[in-house]
Structure 1
Amino acid sequence: MIELYFAATPNGLKLKLFLEEAGLPYFVTPVNIGKGEQFRPEFLAISPNNKIPAIVDHAPAGGGAPISLFESGAIMLYLAEKAGCLIPTDIHGRAEVLQWLFWQMAGLGPMAGQIGHFNVYAPKKVPYAIDRYTRETARLYGVLNQRLADREFIAGAFSLADIACYPWIVPHEAHGQTLADFPHLERWFVAMSQRPATLRAYEGVANVYAARQQDISDEERRVLFGQGGNPGAR
């Protein structure tokens, strides 16, 4: 059984969506990141970077002690290998999936996260930052749009790559993007949104950016964004 430490962020939803697609049994342990639950010692023992998602595999392959993991990309690879699905076993197919998984981790997620922050959560508008991250996110949407011009899914067959990217396209409005500007990406996005596993993963989940910045207290903002070099010493 997989224990998923979860909040409804794009990275948290990546793991929930993966578990639904793979059919692995799991249960959710919510982590209220607005109240600082990610800094509790018991959570830091699992996720020393004080970020969600994290998992504990209470029944690892081959038995033995439970295995805990943090970092969504590492977790997805671990679970794909455990479940034997969503990543090809041949070297060419595996390479295709891995490069797009790491593209999401290193590019799409961080850049989309920055524009989401400056558009929604920042207490003051910073025009340079908004322009910079809007344009870079548009560039990355364009990369994905071009990739999908001649294929149904990002790496050919449905895979980890699609699961990793989809939750980062869901809040496209907060990213300052219009999907109609990216027709191949829009076609893929609609197809992804209609998958049964997606509907299950997102059931009851509010838009991660639904609470506008003016609805966030100063204390919540400090907890979410104000940590320095010693977050465990709050």
Structure 2
Amino acid sequence: MIEVHSWATPNGHKVHIMLEECGLPYKVVPVDIGAGDQFQPDFLAISPNNKIPAIIDPDGPDGQPISLFESGAILLYLAGKTGRFLPADTRGKYEVLQWLMFQMGGVGPMLGQAHHFRIYAPQKIDYAIDRYTNEARRLYGVMDKRLANSRYIGGPEYGIADMAIFPWLRSWKNQGIDWNDYPHLKGWFDEIAARPAVQRGVEVLADRRKPITDDKAREVLFGSEQYRRH
């Protein structure tokens, strides 16, 4: 059974959704990132960048246990393990991979910054809010244009690129987005949100997550604790 060391965040939900879609048995090990669990030695041993999620698969590719961090790498691993949600043909595979990289390099970091400066930053910095809100809208526009000509983000079939992007768009309001500006993306979003496995995936650990309102959690997530050598 795969161990998923995770929390209820977009990056965590990517992997929760994939596991639910694949039907693989898994056990969730909560990593409360507001309490600093991500800095514990046991977690750092499998995720040296102190970020969730990470997995341990006791039945790795060579029959030996394997641990992996980085949500994109985990999605690729699970796709390879199950033979699902990533095309087998070379062209189709790279079509999906480019959009997975788009999420890892653009959607996640930029929407995360928009969310941070709009909601969590202790000082409201107009330049930062404008910069990342505009970038969020630009990225939504890229995806909307893609989905005007493709049923799914990665191509004609639902796959790991869709699973990677969807959780990040659930906080659209906090990112300064008006869905009326992105009708193709909104249709895709609603279709993905209706999938039973997606609904189960986004509920994983959702009852454990609390709003970030206290100074201790803010310090752990955004302050000097991040930069202390562990």
TM-score by length of 2: 0.94
Q: Say which is worse superposed, 198-207 or 48-57, in terms of deviation.
A: 198-207
Task: Indicate whether 1:36 and 2:36 are aligned.
Answer: yes
Q: Say which is worse superposed, 221-230 or 8-17, in terms of deviation.
A: 221-230
Task: Indicate whether 1:197 and 2:194 are aligned.
Answer: no
Q: Say which is worse superposed, 197-206 or 184-193, in terms of deviation.
A: 197-206
- The answer (yes or no) to whether the contact 2:14–2:167 under 8 Å persists in 1 is yes
- What are the residue-to-residue correspondences of 1:176-191 with 2, within 5 Å? 176-191=176-191
Letter aligned with residue 183 of structure 1: P
Aligned residue for 1:59? 59
Q: Say which is worse superposed, 109-118 or 119-128, in terms of deviation.
A: 119-128
Aligned residue for 2:127? 128
- Alpha-carbon distance change, 71 to 227 in structure 1, aligned in 2, over 3 angstroms: farther
How far residue 30 of structure 1 moved from its aligned partner, in angstroms, is 0.4
Aligned residue for 2:93? 94
Aligned residue for 2:144? 145
- The answer (yes or no) to whether the contact 1:97–1:160 under 8 Å persists in 2 is yes
Q: How many angstroms apart in 1 are the aligned matches of 2:179 and 2:198? A: 19
Q: How many angstroms apart in 1 are the aligned matches of 2:204 and 2:29? A: 16
The count of corresponding residues between Structure 1 and Structure 2 is: 229
- What are the residue-to-residue correspondences of 1:202-221 with 2, within 5 Å? 202-203=202-203, 206=206, 211=211, 216-221=213-218
- The answer (yes or no) to whether the contact 1:15–1:72 under 8 Å persists in 2 is yes
Give the percent of matched residue pairs that are identical in Structure 1 and Structure 2: 52
Tell me the SS of whatever aligns to 1:150: coil
The structure showing larger relative contact order (alpha-carbon pairs under 8 Å, at least 6 residues apart) is: 2
Q: How many angstroms apart in 2 are the aligned matches of 1:88 and 1:209? A: 34
- What are the residue-to-residue correspondences of 1:214-229 with 2, within 5 Å? 216-227=213-224
Letter aligned with residue 152 of structure 1: R
Letter aligned with residue 40 of structure 1: Q
Q: How many angstroms apart in 2 are the aligned matches of 1:145 and 1:61? A: 37
- The answer (yes or no) to whether the contact 1:115–1:133 under 8 Å persists in 2 is yes
How far residue 31 of structure 1 moved from its aligned partner, in angstroms, is 0.4
Letter aligned with residue 28 of structure 1: V
Letter aligned with residue 224 of structure 1: L
TM-score by length of 1: 0.93
Aligned residue for 1:4? 4
Question: Which aligned runs of 4 or more in structure 1 are off by greater than 6 angstroms?
Answer: 207-210
How far residue 150 of structure 1 moved from its aligned partner, in angstroms, is 2.0
| CA RMSD in angstroms, aligned pairs only | 1.9
Q: Say which is worse superposed, 31-40 or 119-128, in terms of deviation.
A: 119-128
- Alpha-carbon distance change, 42 to 206 in structure 1, aligned in 2, over 3 angstroms: closer
Provide Cα deviations, 1:123-170, integer angstroms capped at 9, x if missing partner. Answer: 121110000000001000000000000222112211111000000111
How far residue 231 of structure 1 moved from its aligned partner, in angstroms, is 3.2
- Alpha-carbon distance change, 39 to 9 in structure 1, aligned in 2, over 3 angstroms: same
How far residue 198 of structure 1 moved from its aligned partner, in angstroms, is 1.0
Unaligned runs of 5+ in 2: none
Aligned residue for 2:168? 168
Provide Cα deviations, 1:76-101, integer angstroms capped at 9, x if missing partner. Answer: 11111011100001000001000000
Tell me the SS of whatever aligns to 2:80: helix
- Alpha-carbon distance change, 230 to 111 in structure 1, aligned in 2, over 3 angstroms: closer
Unaligned runs of 5+ in 1: none
